[in-house]
Amino acid sequence: MKIGFIGLGNMGGPMAANLAKAGHEVTGFDMADVSIDGVTMAASAEETATGRDVVITMLPNGQILRAVADQVIPVMQRGAVLLDCSTVDVESARAVATQGQTADLLALDAPVSGGVGGAQGGTLTFMVGGDEAGFNIAKELFDIMGQKAVHCGPSGNGQAAKICNNMILGATMIVTCEAFALADKLGLDRQAMFDVVSTSSGYSWSMNAYCPAPGIGPQSPADNGYQPGFAADLMLKDLRLAQQAAEAADADTPLGQAARDLYAQFVEDEDGAGRDFSAMLPRFEARGHS
């Protein structure tokens, strides 16, 4: 396929490189001066999107996505796929999809899970909202860039799935860190705690696969000084998107709101900025009962 790829940062760059390595003709554009193996760089977003079968975007937020959509949709050929892999608010995703559909494009919102390592290794999970015909065309590309793609329904539902998943993840990581800090103060060995919880009803991905306690369980960012695999800043972004969606949908999400507030405090008022989201553990270790 002829693919345009806009947004070649830590996630988009490796994703574009994997598509090029698989034999697709990839043209790319980024506001920064970047070079990606196998990708022909264009001078503008419009040039990147012209004459392409699929245009992929990986952008920081909904405002930038809307601005880029205004640039590229008018120059895209009818029947092409507009595939947005950014994590943005549901409202922006649906607005851009409607704009694309009006121009006879197949619009998909397909945020990802798996982080930079997943982007580099081609093991991302895609949560996809939008046109089924577009999903079927993009499936070949999802198989290159990731290990799983789930069609979640109409436009915006990919974003909905992503923020619901990460609301669970944010809350479970917090309570996992709280439990380790409590175990410490009760004199319970961390390894013993892990051995019990990881095989009992308290098990979770945060405990079993991404344990926030250094030296316990599989290798995780905790074993690397909490250098981010998934930054606390990005968790805060997703929790804010979840609360924005909850307010718009009149959904009661008190634990999601509490998780957002704790990560906001951690990132903005404490030392969480630039650290992994599991660095909540040393935060709780240093604190007493409040």
Please give the positions annotated as active site: 162
On the 0-12 / 13-18 / 19+ scale of CB atoms within 10 A, 260 is buried
* Dihedral sign from CA coordinates of 10, 36, 114, 100: positive
Locus of tokens 């250098």: 227
Residue partners of 110: CB distance under 8 A and separation at least 6:
83, 84, 85, 126, 127, 128, 129, 130, 138, 142, 149, 158
**Are the C-beta atoms of 54 and 28 separated by less than 8 Å?**
no
The whole-angstrom separation of Cα 237 and Cα 74 is 30
**Are the C-beta atoms of 56 and 11 separated by less than 8 Å?**
no
CA 252 to the chain's CA centroid = 23
**Are the C-beta atoms of 273 and 267 separated by less than 8 Å?**
yes
Locus of tokens 């309570």: 175
Cα pseudo-dihedral 99, 103, 106, 109, rounded to 10: -20
**Are the C-beta atoms of 171 and 181 separated by less than 8 Å?**
no
3-state secondary structure of 245: helix
